[in-house]
Amino acid sequence: MAVAGEYADGQSSRVVPATLSVTGSGIVIQTEAGTKTYPADAVTISSRLGKTPRYLTFPDGAQFETPDNDGIDELLAAQVGRSGLLHTLESHLPLVLIAAIVTVLSLAWVVTVGIPRGADYIAHNVSQEVVDKLGANSLQLLDRTVFEPSELPTDRQAEIRAFLQPIIDRHSNVSLHFRAGLPNAYALPDASIVLTDGLFDVLKSPDEIKAIVYHEIGHVEHRHLLRRSLQGSAIAVLLVLVTGDLSNFDLLVGLPALLVDLSYSREFELEADRYALDALAEAGMDVTDFRTALVKLTGWYDVDEVDDSYLLHYLSTHPHTEERLGQVLDDTQD
Amino acid sequence: MTETSAFKDEQTRIIPLEFRGDGFEFFKIWIVNILLTILTLGIYSAWAKVRTNRYFYSNLYLDDLSFRYLASPIAILVGRIIAIVFLVTYIVSVELLPGPGLAVALILTLVMPYLIVRSIAFNHRMSAYRNIQFRFHGTYGEAVMVLLVWPLLGMLTLGILYPLALLRVNQFIVNNSAYGTSRLTFNATYRQYAILVFSFIGANGLGLLVGWSVPLAVVEQAILSVVIFGLIFVWFTANATNLYYNSTSLGDNHFDADLETVGLLKVYTVNMVLIIVTLGLYLPAAKVRLARYKAGHIRFVAVASIDDFVAAEQEQVSALAEEMGEAFDFDIGTL
């Protein structure tokens, strides 16, 4: 039995038709120009891969290329050995189906449970010192780039500070800052909580403002910023592993990463809401203050522009207000 | 038979590139790659990379003979492990030490051209056709010029020199590439790149203007921009790829490409829709479809015999630089 293919000596790009057979003295390559015999154990055979051709490389640098995969497997069974194991796995439909299901399920588990839990574990076992170092200067950086000084009168600032300070003081690392801007509140990596001037146009009652501050403290206490960057890195690594290489890191691969990151962000918002509700209850305050604060804030943005379509939900960093209010409602019924 | 007589008998031959891969076949390889990568906590990813590259190289045929990817998974794995160590060191030093982070970034900028040169050299050496390996002879100095200096000049001149920067980087890559001992040559002109780049910039400006002037809701606005800029991107990709191949010669032989905006747009659109509908499972088949389209629109015009290229002598190129380049996300598109 012989296998037909092409023989190239590796010195020039010249390729000649050849046949390969196995005799007592070794592997015999026969071309128009003559025959060449190689010891049977000196050949390197590429592992089988789909319908791609098989390459046999000899010690003198010559190569025999053939599309006849079955012929090579049969003729050189001893040399091929178990290198065909992967091909077996890759070409059996039931095995591939099982692989597909296991892959999808394990990926789903990794994304929804594994990564968040791992990040949570790491974030809460990192010492406060490291967390401080990671977030150092984040307020200064934002002051230099996007934030503008608050235009709130100093007496109004003092008035707000007066009723928020007792809450802030209970968390040693947290600090409070006022800046200009549309109604919003931020928790920064250095545990600075930033309230914008716009916030006080929308929320007048101290209890509502306190509720929002509790929500931001929730982000700090749960180390959400650290967890989000850990989870983002993990997703990036996972995508590289799944798609094989970074060079194919195009929009189609980046989009799922973005959607997953945003869904993590929404989970953190709900967790911070949860924290705020518990803190309000503990302080003996009315949890509905949080509800009215949320409604007022969303109301303010709704008037302006926000297109609350179903599709946009997956592209937003915050959950739907109804979803967040659901949690509040559950709480009021307790 | 003497080589001279064989040469005289040869007529100019137009040899089409041909991609024989199959979407479902590659899907099966891809899914097994992912499964084993997960089960081995990432170690198999080196084998996965080699099998993927082998699949795309070996299904690419010219004159009924396949290309071959030669890298060994172990070399890739070792490179990957070292690259990850460097990457972690880099991230930690940048995150924890704000001052030295800047120094690290500067050093990295200067190391980047070296990594890119070694990475191209490794990939060329690991590519073979007719049992002759490719080679890359680019130097660090040239790389610094085309990767750092020219793009900077392009920016400083507000884009006027940008086509020249693009031309220089492609000249750097092609003119330093060799098939065995035979150098490839790149003969595009500044004019050709200027037309390409300035049309691209102009089209984007026009697209922006159209996008702004049509009053639409957020979602419709987003869809409109995707359509406009997607179209411009596909047009640019098709034309840049054509210019690249049409300007590349190997001795008296040359390449000839005729990718079309409409055809490429169809490939991208079908791929994107199917990837979304199948939640990503169509990704491998999409890669195969794109490879088949590109190969189907590139030809090799052989004036002389293609039997006479001579192998270069052996030299060692480690996978380390390539994997370092990959880990730090340095990738220069040759288009």
- CA B65 to CA B68: how far, in whole Å? 10
Residue A251 or A145, more confident:
A145
Q: How many CB pairs under 8 A join A and B?
A: 140
User: In the prediction, which pLDDT does A317 show?
Assistant: 73
- Check: CB of residue A227 under 8 Å from CB of residue B310: no
ipTM: 0.85
pLDDT band at A39 (very low <50, low <70, confident <90, very high): very high
Residue B324's beta-bridge partner residues?
none
Q: Which residue has the tokens 């288009």?
A: B335
First-to-last alpha carbon distance for chain A, in angstroms, is: 82
DSSP-assigned states of every residue in A43-109 = -EEPPP-TTPPEEEE-TTS-EEEES-HHHHHHHTHHHHTTTTHHHHHHH-HHHHHHHHHHHHHHHHH
What percent of chain B is predicted at pLDDT more than 90? 46
Q: Among A258, A249, A251, which Cα is nearest to B230's?
A: A251
Of the candidates A15, A103, A245, the beta carbon closest to that of B65 is on A15
What is the rounded average pLDDT of the residues A56-67? 94
User: In the prediction, which pLDDT does A246 show?
Assistant: 45
Nearest CA in chain A to B312: A11
- Give contacts of A 72-111 with B, CB under 8 A: 86, 89-91, 93, 96, 99-100, 102-103, 106-107, 110
- CA B30 to CA B284: how far, in whole Å? 7
Query: Cβ of B35 and A103 within 8 Å?
Result: yes
Residues B200-255: tens digit of each pLDDT: 999 988 888 887 777 766 667 777 887 888 899 999 999 999 999 999 999 989 99
- CA A26 to CA B293: how far, in whole Å? 43
Residue A333 pLDDT > 60, yes or no? Answer: no
- Check: CB of residue B283 under 8 Å from CB of residue A252: yes
User: In the prediction, which pLDDT does B237 show?
Assistant: 92
User: In the prediction, which pLDDT does B334 show?
Assistant: 34
How large is the angle between the packed helices B23-39 and A93-109, nearest 10 degrees?
50
Q: What are phi and psi of B317, to 5 degrees?
A: -130, 125
User: In the prediction, which pLDDT does B2 show?
Assistant: 40
- Check: CB of residue A209 under 8 Å from CB of residue A203: yes
- Check: CB of residue B310 under 8 Å from CB of residue B181: yes
pLDDT band at A304 (very low <50, low <70, confident <90, very high): very low
User: In the prediction, which pLDDT does B101 show?
Assistant: 57
pLDDT band at B320 (very low <50, low <70, confident <90, very high): low
What percent of chain A is predicted at pLDDT more than 90? 20
Residue A243 pLDDT > 70, yes or no? Answer: no
How large is the angle between the packed helices A115-125 and A224-243, nearest 10 degrees?
140
* Residue among B15, B25, B33, B35 with most chain A CBs within 10 A, to mutate: B35
Distance, C-alpha A264 to centroid of its chain:
9
Contacts of A61 in chain B (CB under 8 A): 131, 311
Query: Cβ of B28 and A91 within 8 Å?
Result: yes
- CA A212 to CA A293: how far, in whole Å? 7
User: In the prediction, which pLDDT does A191 show?
Assistant: 83
- CA B127 to CA B131: how far, in whole Å? 9
* Residue among B15, B24, B27, B31 with most chain A CBs within 10 A, to mutate: B31
The first and second tokens of residue B163, run together, are 């086509």
CA distance B28 to chain A (A): 5
Q: Going along chain B, which residue ranges are E strands?
A: 13-19, 60-62, 65-69, 127-129, 132-136, 177-179, 182-186, 248-250, 253-257, 298-302
User: In the prediction, which pLDDT does B331 show?
Assistant: 39
- Check: CB of residue A231 under 8 Å from CB of residue A266: no
- CA A199 to CA B1: how far, in whole Å? 90
Provide the mean pLDDT of chain A: 82
Angstrom CA distances, B248 to A201, B143, B303, B325, stand at: 65, 19, 14, 25
Residue B292 pLDDT > 70, yes or no? Answer: yes
Residue A140 or A16, more confident:
A16
Query: Cβ of B331 and A247 within 8 Å?
Result: yes
CA distance B334 to chain A (A): 12
Provide the mean pLDDT of chain B: 84
- Check: CB of residue A277 under 8 Å from CB of residue A288: no
What is the rounded average pLDDT of the residues B152-156? 90
User: In the prediction, which pLDDT does A173 show?
Assistant: 82
Kind plus residue range of the DSSP H or E element containing B283: helix B283-296
Task: Name B329's Cβ contacts closer than 8 Å, sequence gap at least 6.
Answer: A246, A249
pLDDT band at B105 (very low <50, low <70, confident <90, very high): confident
Residue B264 pLDDT > 90, yes or no? Answer: yes
- CA A65 to CA A47: how far, in whole Å? 13
User: In the prediction, which pLDDT does A170 show?
Assistant: 84
User: In the prediction, which pLDDT does B178 show?
Assistant: 94
What percent of chain A is predicted at pLDDT more than 70? 88
Residue A207 pLDDT > 80, yes or no? Answer: yes
Contacts of A86 in chain B (CB under 8 A): 32, 51
CA distance B117 to chain A (A): 16
- Check: CB of residue A15 under 8 Å from CB of residue A6: yes
Within a 10 A sphere around the Cβ of B104, how many other Cβ atoms? 16
Least confident interval from B61-70, B283-292, B305-314: B305-314
Query: Cβ of A307 and B217 within 8 Å?
Result: yes
User: In the prediction, which pLDDT does A334 show?
Assistant: 45
Nearest CA in chain B to A240: B45
Of the candidates A49, A249, A307, the beta carbon closest to that of B54 is on A49
Residues A107-136: tens digit of each pLDDT: 888 888 999 999 999 888 887 777 777 777
What is the rounded average pLDDT of the residues B267-275? 88
Residue B199 or A181, more confident:
B199
Task: Name A178's Cβ contacts closer than 8 Å, sequence gap at least 6.
Answer: A150, A152, A157, A160, A194, A195, A196, A197
Contacts of B58 in chain A (CB under 8 A): 49, 52-53
Residues B17-73: tens digit of each pLDDT: 999 999 999 999 998 888 888 888 888 888 998 999 999 999 999 999 999 999 888
pLDDT band at A249 (very low <50, low <70, confident <90, very high): very low
Of the candidates A13, A241, A252, the beta carbon closest to that of B37 is on A241
pLDDT band at B10 (very low <50, low <70, confident <90, very high): low
What is the rounded average pLDDT of the residues A289-308? 70
Residues B181-197: tens digit of each pLDDT: 999 999 999 999 999 99
Of the candidates B42, B54, B307, the beta carbon closest to that of A14 is on B307
